[in-house]
Amino acid sequence: MEDTMPVILAAGRGTRMHSGLAKALHELGGVPLVEHVARAVVQAGLGRPLVVVGYQAERVEEALEGKADFVIQSEMHGTGDAVLKTLDALPSSVHDLVVLVGDCPLIPADLIRQLVAYHREHEAAATIVTTYMEDPTGYGRVVRSSNGQVEAIVEESQADARTKAVQEINTGIGIWRTDHLREILQQLPWHDEERYLPEAVPLLIAENRSVQALLFPQASLVMGINTRRELAKAEAVLRQMTLDRLFDQGVTIVDPGSTYVDADVEIGQDTILYPMTFLRGKTKIGRECHIGPMTTIVSSRLGDGVAVERSVVEQSALASRCRVGPFSHLRAGTYLDHNVKIGNFVELKNTRVGIGTKAGHHSYLGDATIGGRVNIGAGTVIVNYDGQAKHPTFIGDEAFVGCNANLVAPVEIGAGAYVAAGSTVTQNVPPGGLAIARSRQEVKVGWAKERKQRHVDTTRS
């Protein structure tokens, strides 16, 4: 649609959020509010949108890098001024401007397509999207004539009691003929150094221009986000939509009420999510996995048949049939090859683990490359930090590291080598070798009995 341009208004600070962060950057389902809208525009077939930025413009541009072009509204003079700035940036070939708002993140792509089609069918100068809300507080009310035609949009601050009782509201979404809009915007009245786009409606009507309204029945999908409470309401709506998508894709969710899945998460068929599971960011999970209970996975990839119980996995990759937990933590940069077992209270960071390796209990493995079929004994610690820098550790295939071993990096344990329990290893161990780094045991026969007797004799005296 080369003659139709979408613009997203996202310049405002959002004072009612009581936040130092621009409203457009608050996240819903792990995605910034304004990015949800930009995605809907692309899905609707309108191409790359323009985004009007102002407050924290650089941060908004960074969040949408490669996904939008930008118009700067350096001073916050309202939606009318934002659209006027947009008109200055449009090529002359643009006939219609689709105006969207960055704080309406649940807008369906299909609604945008319907809006464009309805507008063209009625050859309107402007077409706005309206909906009915049980509690319309905070929204501009749509005032209609006796024959049902739109007459005006009245902001709540300017509405009398009768108008405030109207439940049909303006969503802020609409499409406008550019050839009529520029002149009209210059005529908008000022309100405390701001002018508002909806006030263009009665001005167009006064010129006998056609203004249409497309009524959208699902108010929850076109709600604006102005407060933290509204953000929470939208989160609940999106969360249910996400879970419904997963149900339809063959995922079992044992307790939807305690399962939280971000919008970009992908999960394969026949995977089971147990209660108190949190799947965040761009996580991708394979088929026939068992995730949870009480598990958090952040921006990670899990292969088929993986099980993670009561554990945290962050920015890591797990190949098929791995087992993790309970109570383990895989930090950023961890990679587990097929059939790896990470048991209880094990922490890994920036570590690659080979096929079939096991670390069953109470260990820390950091900045390491560990081969296949290695046994990591309980209490093993890779001492990777010297107070100034991190150092690597290499453990070869089929090595055996006994319990309570300290591997002081940089160090290499060769393939098939053994590290005796209780050892602190500071030198490389050759393949097939044995490292014993502990003091020799000494046994003093009768020492404990004699000590006890001395204590008794001292007490009596």
Average pLDDT estimate for 42-56: 96
Per the residue annotation, which of 180, 361, 362, 455 is the catalytic one? 361
Chain segment 99-140, per-residue pLDDT in tens: 999 999 999 999 999 999 999 999 999 999 999 999 998 899
Question: Which homologous superfamily is 4-221 in?
Answer: Spore Coat Polysaccharide Biosynthesis Protein SpsA; Chain A (3.90.550.10)
Average pLDDT estimate for 45-51: 96
CB 368 within 8 A of CB 349: no
Say whether pLDDT at 278 is over 80: yes
How many CA atoms within 13 Å lie on the side-chain side of 438?
17
Say whether pLDDT at 284 is over 90: yes
Q: Are strands 272-273 and 290-291 parallel, antiparallel or unpaired?
A: parallel
* Six token digits for residue 398: 């089929």
Chain segment 131-154, per-residue pLDDT in tens: 999 999 889 999 998 888 898 899
Chain segment 242-275, per-residue pLDDT in tens: 999 999 999 999 999 999 999 999 999 999 999 9
Say whether pLDDT at 2 is over 80: no
For the question of whether the overall pTM of this predicted structure is more than 0.75, the answer is: yes
Say whether pLDDT at 383 is over 80: yes
**Euclidean distance between CA atoms 361 and 379, whole angstroms:** 7
Q: Are strands 424-425 and 411-413 parallel, antiparallel or unpaired?
A: unpaired
Please tell me the predicted confidence (pLDDT) of residue 459: 79
Please tell me the predicted confidence (pLDDT) of residue 337: 98
Average pLDDT estimate for 41-51: 97
Q: Where are the domains of the chain?
A: 4-221, 245-435
How many CA atoms within 13 Å lie on the side-chain side of 374?
32
* Six token digits for residue 254: 């044992």
Which one of 1.20.1260.10, 2.160.10.10, 3.10.20.310, 3.40.640.10 gives the CATH number of domain 245-435? 2.160.10.10
Task: Work out the pLDDT band at 456, boundaries 50, 70, 90.
Answer: confident
* Six token digits for residue 313: 């996995």
Among 180-184, 385-389, 422-426, 433-437, which stretch is predicted with the lowest mean pLDDT? Answer: 180-184
Average pLDDT estimate for 428-454: 93
Sequence-ordered list of residues with C-beta below 8 angstroms from that of 433, at least 6 positions apart, any chain: 414, 417, 418
Please tell me the predicted confidence (pLDDT) of residue 76: 87
Average pLDDT estimate for 384-398: 96
- Whether 4-221 and 245-435 share one fold: the answer is no
**Euclidean distance between CA atoms 156 and 56, whole angstroms:** 28
* Six token digits for residue 286: 């394979």
**Euclidean distance between CA atoms 324 and 347, whole angstroms:** 11
362 noted as active-site residue: no
Please tell me the predicted confidence (pLDDT) of residue 138: 86
Q: Are strands 69-72 and 50-53 parallel, antiparallel or unpaired?
A: parallel
Task: Work out the pLDDT band at 1, boundaries 50, 70, 90.
Answer: low
Among 24-33, 87-96, 319-328, 387-396, which stretch is predicted with the lowest mean pLDDT? Answer: 87-96
Average pLDDT estimate for 162-189: 92
When the pLDDT of each residue in the chain is averaged and rounded to a whole number, the result is 95
**Euclidean distance between CA atoms 9 and 99, whole angstroms:** 7
**Euclidean distance between CA atoms 26 and 80, whole angstroms:** 24
- Is residue 253 classed as helix, strand or coil in its secondary structure? strand
Say whether pLDDT at 301 is over 70: yes
CB-count burial class (<10 Å; 0-12, 13-18, 19+) for 109: middle
